[in-house]
Amino acid sequence: MDSFDKEEASDIVNKYEETLKYLRTLLLKKDEEIQTLRSQLDKFQSVFIPGYIRSGSGRRKHRAYGISAEPHSLQTIEELISTRFPDHPKSERSKEMIKQAILDNDFMKNLEPVQIQEITDCMYPVEYAQDSFIIKEAEVGSVMFVMEEGKVDVTKEGKFLCSVKPGQVFGELAILYNCTRTATVKAVMDCRLWAIERQCFQTIMMRTGLVRQTEHTYFLKSVPTFRNLNEETIFKIADVLEEMTYNMGDYIIRQGAHGDTFFIISKGTVRVDYNLIRMKSYF
């Protein structure tokens, strides 16, 4: 290894150590917030009826849930970042089929490209013979499937609901929301599927979330506009940043339109008033 390689390796190690130090600090802050919220929750539970929150008009307002990663109470941040699951070989056709199945799924279509890529890489092949049960209603679920070949029927309480054909996801609710299976899935012909375990899925969600927040935080600290903001404010801004993609020729901002959003260029170039501004990728 020449001197250049050693210097480059040293820089990578230093950056990794800085990231771990920052994540430890962030974890401590989050733990303090959780303890405070738990204390407040205990107080509110003694006053409010559990199960719903009332709005000002008195109507029932259920909490809305999206895709989220559950906390890993026994897993350190270092382990979370370093954990890698084995990649299972797939043809390009199978990879594209899995990605498209995820994008077509209402519960998963808003995942980030890097998350979809990791999920695709980690899915492993499974096969079920005709008339075998892949999922049974009311059982604890821990696996999500993407159908590649075959056909399955979905029933609930003995009543037929639908059929699942190649290129579709099923079983995702159990790994997203930690619930029991809400229906039974039975193979009506020999099936070839791709599967992913709940632990693998949730680890991918948490790791990509932490890495993304770290990247956003480092970037925000380098922007002159935000340099005088305190750490807590920068953390909050980093938490709510959303990645958006525009194709060449798309308008991001139009003159005269009402503006309520600011943008940070991650990749690509933009043209402002006919002057081409080249921006390097920060992430």
**pLDDT grade for 54, boundaries at 50, 70 and 90:** very low
pLDDT of amino acid 179 = 80
Helix (H) or strand (E) holding 53: strand 53-54
Q: How is 178-246 classified by DSSP, letter by letter?
A: --B--SEEEESS-EEEEEEEHHHHHHHHHHHHHHHHHHHHHHHHHSGGGTTS-HHHHHHHHHH------
**Is 58's pLDDT higher than 50?**
no
The mean pLDDT value of the chain amounts to 77
3-state secondary structure of 62: coil
Q: For residue 111, what are the contacts with CB-CB under 8 A and spacing of at least 6?
A: 67, 102, 119
Burial class (CB in 10 A: 0-12, 13-18, 19+), 216: buried
Q: Which residue has the higher pLDDT, 2 or 84?
A: 84
Model pLDDT for residues 176-201, shown as the tens digit of each residue: 877 889 899 999 999 999 999 998 99
Model pLDDT for residues 166-180, shown as the tens digit of each residue: 999 999 887 887 788
Distance CA 221, CA 219 (A): 5
The answer to whether 81 and 166 are in contact (CB under 8 A) is no
Model pLDDT for residues 1-41, shown as the tens digit of each residue: 555 566 766 777 777 777 777 777 777 777 667 766 655 55
**Sequence letter at residue 47:** V
- Chain-centroid distance of CA 127 in Å reads 27
pLDDT of amino acid 163 = 94
Q: For residue 85, what are the contacts with CB-CB under 8 A and spacing of at least 6?
A: 122, 200, 203, 204
pLDDT of amino acid 61 = 31
* Token pair in block for residue 178: 């930690």
**Is 56's pLDDT higher than 60?**
no
268: closest CA among 257, 252, 255, 259?
Answer: 252
Q: How many CB atoms lie within 10 A of CB 275?
A: 7
pLDDT of amino acid 137 = 93
Model pLDDT for residues 91-132, shown as the tens digit of each residue: 999 999 999 999 999 888 888 888 899 999 999 999 999 999
Distance CA 56, CA 34 (A): 26
